[in-house]
Amino acid sequence: MAKKTDWNSLNENQQAGIVLLAAIQVGLFLFAQGALLGRPKEFVRGRKWVWFLTNFINFFGPIAYLTFGKRRTPRAR
């Protein structure tokens, strides 16, 4: 098993990297959720509630929605 490392044992560069990655993750999440909730369902591939839940998967969810989940033209009814 890997040894547990606490925050204070990390050097400043490691701490800054973790904070930067966390900020990017939160920013992606908020941007994707805002884009999803503000978009009519006709402009979303699949169901909105599935994308809503998918966006909670770290990095992958928001990037997947922004890449594959948005439509440029409305879906035909």
Residue 71: per-residue pLDDT:
83
Give the chain's domain count: 1
Alpha helices in 1-77 (DSSP H): 12-37, 48-54, 60-64
Burial class of 69 by CB neighbour count within 10 A (0 to 12, 13 to 18, 19+): buried
User: What percent of the chain clears pLDDT 70, i.e. is strictly above it?
Assistant: 96
pLDDT tens digits, 31-68:
999 999 999 999 999 999 999 999 999 999 999 999 99
Give the domain extent around 30: 15-69
Structural domain includes residue 4: no
Structural domain includes residue 33: yes
Strand, coil or helix: 44: strand
Q: What does the alpha-carbon distance between residue 48 and residue 30 come to, in Å, rounded to a whole number? A: 15
